[in-house]
Structure 1
């Protein structure tokens, strides 16, 4: 769904960013959103950033003992 924003302040800020970056409005808005998302993600606590990985690890269960080198070699078709 397209994004339509009719806000004079947003338009003014977009034009300022376009001027500073010598880009189009679409490129400027996209870059600003990417930058903001990256900053927000980086400021999240480590536990929250790793929540999905932790959930996957818990679903898999504890590390099983065994000959993991042999299992990896077999998986890759190596003797």
Structure 2
């Protein structure tokens, strides 16, 4: 199935990609760019996985969630931060 690029801006980006990579075949360049992007997205992981990783790192560094907060203490803290305390 042929791929036709009708958008001059996309064609320009492809030309820039070809120049930067030294490739000469546009079809191969598109295939490689898309494959590389899919690989990067797969390696990135889901949002849930990334959040879990940050939570693990925070716990290892000693930042543990207490399981709840004190609304009065939170209000005092926010008031102090805004110079209203």
Q: Could you tell me the TM-score, scaled by structure 1's length? A: 0.50
Structure 2 distance, partners of 1:13, 1:30, is 14
- Give the Å deviation of 1:5: 2.3
Matched with 2:40 is 39
Matched with 1:21 is 21
Report whether the alignment pairs 1:7 with 2:12.
no
Structure 1 distance, partners of 2:28, 2:18, is 8
Segments of structure 1 that go 5 or more residues without pairing to the other structure are 49-79
Segments of structure 2 that go 5 or more residues without pairing to the other structure are 50-85
The total of aligned residue pairs comes to 48
- Give the Å deviation of 1:39: 0.8
Structure 1 distance, partners of 2:2, 2:36, is 20
Between the two structures, name the one with larger relative contact order (CA 8 Å, sep ≥ 6).
Answer: 1
The structure that has the greater radius of gyration is 2
**RMSD across aligned positions (CA):** 2.2
